[in-house]
Amino acid sequence: MADPQTLQRPIRELSPVAVINAAAYTAVDKAESDPTAAFAVNAQAPGYLARLCHSHELPLLQISTDYVFDGRQRTPYRETDPIAPLSVYGASKAAGEAAVRSLCPRHLILRTSWLYSMDGQTFLTTMVRLAGKRDELSVVGDQHGTPTWTHDLAAAILTILQRVLASNDEGLWGTYHLTSRGQTTWLGFATEIFRLAAAAGQATPRLKAIATADYAAAAPRPAYSVLDTSKIGATFGICLPTWQHSLAQCCAKSRPSASEEKVA
């Protein structure tokens, strides 16, 4: 991803009307001991891509993170609030934002948070996997944020790009926050995951709340990283469902239908 030649090839072959950069180094703890790799993917590559997009007159949409904030605030962060990342991961994403802003004027930076799906390694898939192996799970209960379903994020991105590509309004470019509605903790997120699982007849473990200080993580996390999404609502009319509603939809989509269960 950090190789400029690799970035140029799809631009030439696909002739896109816009570019979405969803690639990222997301191993938050590993980044503490491997900052070179984190900055290569999260900062240098977006810079290469931004320069390339500008030279081809293409808008660039960059996905960023709530971890650019330090979590000391206790009200939802706005786009204009100062950033102060605590971790290498957060610092690398902040550097990527800066590169995009400076090198590609026609950009959209979308900060989101706590992304999950039933694909890949996410908090949701980790909880589902561990549910079948543990009778009890310890989950951090003092970090506050907003779980956001990747399906909702993708749908919103399409809506945003359709709007900006059809408009000559230069004021639409810039930084936005985009998450589901509401907020919770990792413990609250896990509790809702297993409530839905239990309602579907699945076995669930007991949950034990622990403090961040008791969780031996290499990278510091913001204690509060809820994002204010009023700007994207006012500008694009986008208001995602509550995180509980989207989680239920995500889990329902992953369960086999009655006909599939009969075939199995």
pLDDT at 32 exceeding the cut of 60: yes
User: Is 101 part of a structural domain of the chain?
Assistant: yes
Is a pLDDT exceeding 50 seen at residue 75? yes
Helices and strands (DSSP H and E) totals, the chain: 10, 10
Residue with tokens 């570019």: 19
Q: How large is the angle between the packed helices 4-14 and 45-55, nearest 10 degrees?
A: 40
Q: Residue 3: pLDDT above 80?
A: no
Of 113-127, 135-149, 166-180, 248-262, the least confident: 248-262
Out of 66-75, 212-221, 239-248, least confident range: 212-221
Q: Is the pLDDT of residue 62 over 70?
A: yes
Q: Which range marks the domain in which residue 155 is found?
A: 4-254
Q: At what angle do helices 243-254 and 186-199 cross, to 10 degrees?
A: 40
Per the domain annotation, does 92 fall within a domain? yes
Is pLDDT at 219 greater than 70 in this prediction? yes
The secondary structure element, H or E, covering residue 160 is helix 150-165
Q: What average pLDDT is seen over the chain?
A: 92
Question: Which pLDDT score is estimated for 140?
Answer: 96
User: Which residues are identified as catalytic?
Assistant: 89
User: Residue 171 falls within a domain, yes or no?
Assistant: yes
Q: Is 44 part of a structural domain of the chain?
A: yes
Sheet arrangement for strand 19-21: 19-21, 60-65, 107-112, 174-177
Mean pLDDT of 37-63: 96
Q: Residue 47 corresponds to which tokens in the numbers above?
A: 């810079």
- Residue 225 belongs to some domain of the structure: yes
132 is a domain residue? yes
**pLDDT score, position 144:** 98
At 262 the pLDDT is: 41
Domain presence at residue 250 = yes
d(CA 203, CA 208): 16
Region 204-214 average pLDDT:
94
List the single range of 135-139, 178-182, 255-259 with lowest mean pLDDT.
255-259
Average pLDDT over residues 217-233: 97
For residue 261, pLDDT over 60 is answered with no
Question: For position 11, which CATH number holds?
Answer: 3.40.50.720
Query: Structural domain tally of the chain?
Result: 1
* pLDDT score, position 85: 98
Q: Give residue-wise pLDDT tens across range 109-148.
A: 999 999 999 998 899 999 999 988 889 999 999 999 999 9
7-11, 17-21, 28-32, 97-101: least confidently modelled range = 7-11
| Assessment of whether the complete model's pTM goes beyond 0.85 | yes
Q: Does residue 203 sit within a domain?
A: yes
Residue 256 pLDDT: 53
Tell me: pLDDT of 258 over 70: no
